[in-house]
Chain A
């Protein structure tokens, strides 16, 4: 078969940017919010009107707009979950670890919670000589082993009905032609209406060829009334230039609103938790500024080594892998001003503003630290050093630990340093944002009373055991006056026992519904590279070798010295 057999498919050189603007959920978020507000004020809209609205929207199926025109949906009816419209999810690289451990279980969990549309179909694409039942078996096992919700036969049956597998390599034209045919067939047998989401669960080097193939087969271009979306995983390039190149490739096929970039470390749930903490309370805002905050520490520590990612990791390093995306996103969320609304657009504007205001210290030598783990004991187990790991050259200069000091040049944060650190094979796994406050300007106690009193802190714990810790001084019971640091703890898992949905569940649902993602857009990705690129350049030019630190410890000594120069210390891991 060839392209010309497929009706409604664009020629391969068709300019993607000119795609029908009504095809995707491109409506302005603000306008939609206004619409919603109007709807709330006017609950008794005659049913006739809504039905007509639904009919008039009949050309654009299963976008957020149409869902809103649905007569059975009512903003006041909070029991009804948002369910995706009929669609197909295509996963490239479905045999990978991520797909088995996260994506396939997440799909089942969505189904189990009744959030998958009737007729939902899943197409696996990978270079395996599998038949459909082999794929079903793998999916079944993956779900049984990793799903968050209990296994129920009827849900599995529903998902199993829509499972398909297309074997082939990414450069194999025949395989993609077969994929196009399978998708067309699914549209006919399952009523999925030409709505496809493509998930590239592959190393980034395959993105261009996959997107080229989608363009060649015309799969990137939705027929009128349908949508096509693509999900790409971090890393989004390895510097500004490559990020722009990657974007150009994606951009040539998909509209910006149809591109979903996922940073799975930073789930939507976490983002929303931080937003709720900061903007739903009055407690923190008055002290959330240079008047009270001494400094901010943002940490992502991992206890594992590079393991199976050696091939990718060597030459990339901790800063590009984690600081560029994850830590800078956390920093933006913690430091940004309040958005005008909680739509993706308003949020993005504020994050971009604060990222633009980030400045680097003048002397990068004194304000950064890099390290590389050496053999040691990690949690009672002897482990190899980085250069002894399989696939890492013995003279590798890739850093496995990086710490940087950044500042934000605006009225709220001038003079407040933000310390970002990340590393592998550290003492334990932990991701947190610690806002450390200044000492009380005057202590009406004798010096001995408050000798061991530290600084107040608000810690946003992200992993593991998401929650919030407040540290403050309290009197030790007894006749002597002694003030000591105590912790007040709040854990999401304790107050709301229903484990919050996995990042992937939220993301997949957003993709299928077409909800504008809270995940970084290209502009943010570029701004984040603009912050990191000069640091990487400095490290490369200065010829600095990463300092060794024994596995299972808190990082290299130079990182502690970097803090000590400022009269501060890292929080213990």
Chain B
């Protein structure tokens, strides 16, 4: 990996340096399919950039990490460019000081790749209305993460107020394997679901999303109850002749139970952030099912 530090620089110098580097390596920026903008503070930076770099193995991207620093200092832009082995594309860390912290969009605009989609990700604190945020407006897709908020459940409940089509939240991405397994269980008709509950550790925003999604689709009351975790531990749905249940205790393997059928073990591992991001980057159209679900969460359909 080659890394370049550029102190007190400008966006156009960074762009020129990127072009220079590419010519040196002899590989033009072919094949890059996305620009991913990561907006985070210094403490999230390492993990976030690592996760995007891993996800960019599936989606070669230019990764722009925006790190707002001291507002009190003199206005300045420091950049760090990384090209090479760890990532398939390019990584640029942008550290903003002073007044520039308010104008990240002006630094980003010249660095976004033309003609291809932009995804903005806030691994930590996210704006209330991502679609109206000066950086967020660039994104076809805006990814937040309710779990990193101080109160994850409150965060997911308020998402609908600032929703713009194209918003999505990793708390929703995390439950895709659960939803997929439950949907598979319902591929064989089981009859009307009477009620049920989702079991998870306290303050787990994904549990609320899963409960609301289920109750919306099945037209049955689904509650959220607490367990010791980790993460989601069970979904139980009461049907006429018994219970359809998925239980997971070790965050790797789950047991699927259906009335009149033997219990079955299925792989249901918790996924690393890079996998979640890769899933997010796979489709860039608005996720309407997510919108419906956060609308439901805000309305408190889950009875909690």
Point out residues on A near B: beta carbons under 8 Å: 43, 46-48, 51, 54-55, 57-58, 61-62, 66-67, 69-74, 76-81, 83, 85-86, 111-112, 114, 117-119, 152, 154-155, 157-158, 161, 188-191, 193, 491, 494-498
In the complex, the answer to whether B266 meets A80 with C-beta atoms within 8 Å is no
**Residue of B88, B219, B258, B283 contacting most chain A CB atoms (<10 Å):** B219
Residue of A nearest to B216 (CB): A47
- Tell me, in angstroms, the Cα distance from A312 to B295 when the chains sit together: 63
From B179, B181, B252, contact of A118 by CB (8 A): B181
Residues 251 to 276 of chain B near chain A (Cβ within 8 Å): 252-253, 256, 258, 261-262, 264-267, 269
Query: Whole-angstrom distance from the CB of A524 to the nearest CB of chain B?
Result: 31
From A51, A117, A191, A491, contact of B184 by CB (8 A): A117
Question: What does the 1/0 interface line of B180-199 toward A look like (CB < 8 Å)?
Answer: 11111111110111000000
- Tell me, in angstroms, the Cα distance from A189 to B261 when the chains sit together: 8
In the complex, the answer to whether A114 meets B187 with C-beta atoms within 8 Å is no
From B57, B177, B182, contact of A114 by CB (8 A): B177
Residues from chain B with Cβ under 8 Å of A155 in the complex: 267
In the complex, the answer to whether B267 meets A158 with C-beta atoms within 8 Å is yes
Query: Whole-angstrom distance from the CB of A207 to the nearest CB of chain B?
Result: 31
Given contacts A111-B267, A118-B264, contact A498 B58 (CB under 8 A): yes
In the complex, the answer to whether A80 meets B31 with C-beta atoms within 8 Å is no
In the complex, the answer to whether A51 meets B288 with C-beta atoms within 8 Å is no
In the complex, the answer to whether B59 meets A79 with C-beta atoms within 8 Å is no
Residues 18 to 59 of chain B near chain A (Cβ within 8 Å): 30-31, 33, 57-59
Residues from chain B with Cβ under 8 Å of A66 in the complex: 187-189
In the complex, the answer to whether A158 meets B181 with C-beta atoms within 8 Å is no
In the complex, the answer to whether A83 meets B262 with C-beta atoms within 8 Å is no
Q: List 26 A-B contacts (CB under 8 A).
A: A43-B288, A51-B219, A55-B189, A55-B191, A57-B189, A58-B189, A62-B188, A66-B188, A70-B186, A71-B217, A72-B186, A74-B217, A77-B179, A78-B287, A79-B179, A85-B187, A112-B267, A114-B180, A119-B261, A154-B267, A158-B265, A158-B267, A161-B264, A190-B262, A190-B264, A496-B59
- Tell me, in angstroms, the Cα distance from A86 to B262 when the chains sit together: 12
Given contacts A119-B264, A154-B269, A497-B88, contact A83 B218 (CB under 8 A): no
From A55, A72, A78, A189, contact of B218 by CB (8 A): A72
In the complex, the answer to whether A83 meets B261 with C-beta atoms within 8 Å is no
Residues from chain B with Cβ under 8 Å of A80 in the complex: 176, 179-180, 183
Name the 3 nearest CB pairs between A and B, nearest first. Answer: A47-B219, A191-B261, A494-B31
For chain B, the bracket of interface size reads 35 or more
Question: What does the 1/0 interface line of B262-304 toward A look like (CB < 8 Å)?
Answer: 1011110100000000110001010111000000000000000
- Tell me, in angstroms, the Cα distance from A191 to B216 when the chains sit together: 28
- Tell me, in angstroms, the Cα distance from A485 to B256 when the chains sit together: 60
Residue of A nearest to B252 (CB): A154
Is the C-beta of B136 less than 8 angstroms from some C-beta in chain A?
A: no
Query: Whole-angstrom distance from the CB of A197 to the nearest CB of chain B?
Result: 16
Query: Whole-angstrom distance from the CB of A36 to the nearest CB of chain B?
Result: 16
14 other contacts beyond A66-B188, A118-B265, A119-B264, with CB at 8 A cut-off?
A62-B187, A66-B189, A72-B217, A73-B183, A76-B288, A77-B179, A79-B173, A79-B180, A86-B188, A111-B267, A114-B267, A497-B58, A497-B59, A497-B88
Residues from chain B with Cβ under 8 Å of A73 in the complex: 183, 186
In the complex, the answer to whether A54 meets B264 with C-beta atoms within 8 Å is no
- Tell me, in angstroms, the Cα distance from A114 to B177 when the chains sit together: 8
Residues from chain A with Cβ under 8 Å of B193 in the complex: 51
Query: Whole-angstrom distance from the CB of B277 to the nearest CB of chain A?
Result: 13
In the complex, the answer to whether A70 meets B183 with C-beta atoms within 8 Å is yes
In the complex, the answer to whether A85 meets B264 with C-beta atoms within 8 Å is no
In the complex, the answer to whether A72 meets B181 with C-beta atoms within 8 Å is no
Query: Whole-angstrom distance from the CB of A185 to the nearest CB of chain B?
Result: 11
Residues 217 to 255 of chain B near chain A (Cβ within 8 Å): 217-219, 252-253
Residue of B nearest to A119 (CB): B264
From A51, A76, A79, A498, contact of B176 by CB (8 A): A79
In the complex, the answer to whether A83 meets B189 with C-beta atoms within 8 Å is no
Residues from chain A with Cβ under 8 Å of B186 in the complex: 54, 70-73
Residues from chain A with Cβ under 8 Å of B189 in the complex: 54-55, 57-58, 61, 66, 69
In the complex, the answer to whether B256 meets A118 with C-beta atoms within 8 Å is yes
Residues from chain A with Cβ under 8 Å of B191 in the complex: 51, 55
Residues from chain B with Cβ under 8 Å of A76 in the complex: 288-289
In the complex, the answer to whether B267 meets A494 with C-beta atoms within 8 Å is no
In the complex, the answer to whether B283 meets A78 with C-beta atoms within 8 Å is yes
Residue of A nearest to B253 (CB): A154
Residues from chain A with Cβ under 8 Å of B269 in the complex: 152, 154
- Tell me, in angstroms, the Cα distance from A491 to B192 when the chains sit together: 48
Residues from chain A with Cβ under 8 Å of B267 in the complex: 111-112, 114, 152, 154-155, 157-158
From B58, B176, B183, B285, contact of A83 by CB (8 A): B183
Is the C-beta of B124 less than 8 angstroms from some C-beta in chain A?
A: no
Residues from chain A with Cβ under 8 Å of B262 in the complex: 119, 188-191
Residues from chain B with Cβ under 8 Å of A77 in the complex: 179, 289
In the complex, the answer to whether B265 meets A157 with C-beta atoms within 8 Å is yes
Query: Whole-angstrom distance from the CB of A112 to the nearest CB of chain B?
Result: 8
In the complex, the answer to whether B57 meets A497 with C-beta atoms within 8 Å is yes
Query: Whole-angstrom distance from the CB of B204 to the nearest CB of chain A?
Result: 19
In the complex, the answer to whether A494 meets B264 with C-beta atoms within 8 Å is no
Given contacts A54-B189, A77-B289, A191-B262, contact A494 B60 (CB under 8 A): yes
Residue of A nearest to B261 (CB): A191
Residues from chain B with Cβ under 8 Å of A190 in the complex: 262, 264
- Tell me, in angstroms, the Cα distance from A61 to B219 when the chains sit together: 22
In the complex, the answer to whether B179 meets A497 with C-beta atoms within 8 Å is no
In the complex, the answer to whether B188 meets A495 with C-beta atoms within 8 Å is no
Residue of A nearest to B269 (CB): A154
Query: Whole-angstrom distance from the CB of A4 to the nearest CB of chain B?
Result: 27
Given contacts A83-B187, A152-B269, contact A51 B218 (CB under 8 A): yes
In the complex, the answer to whether A72 meets B58 with C-beta atoms within 8 Å is no
In the complex, the answer to whether A72 meets B183 with C-beta atoms within 8 Å is yes
Query: Whole-angstrom distance from the CB of A104 to the nearest CB of chain B?
Result: 17
Residues from chain A with Cβ under 8 Å of B188 in the complex: 61-62, 66, 85-86, 193
Residues from chain B with Cβ under 8 Å of A57 in the complex: 189
From A81, A161, A495, contact of B265 by CB (8 A): A161
In the complex, the answer to whether B218 meets A497 with C-beta atoms within 8 Å is no
- Tell me, in angstroms, the Cα distance from A76 to B290 when the chains sit together: 10
Residue of B nearest to A53 (CB): B189
Residues from chain B with Cβ under 8 Å of A79 in the complex: 173, 176, 179-180, 279, 283, 287, 289
Query: Whole-angstrom distance from the CB of B207 to the nearest CB of chain A?
Result: 17
From B33, B219, B253, contact of A48 by CB (8 A): B219
Residue of B nearest to A78 (CB): B283
Question: What does the 1/0 interface line of B69-108 toward A look like (CB < 8 Å)?
Answer: 0000000000000000000100000000000000000000
- Tell me, in angstroms, the Cα distance from A96 to B199 when the chains sit together: 46
In the complex, the answer to whether B58 meets A496 with C-beta atoms within 8 Å is yes
Query: Whole-angstrom distance from the CB of B254 to the nearest CB of chain A?
Result: 9
Query: Whole-angstrom distance from the CB of A56 to the nearest CB of chain B?
Result: 9
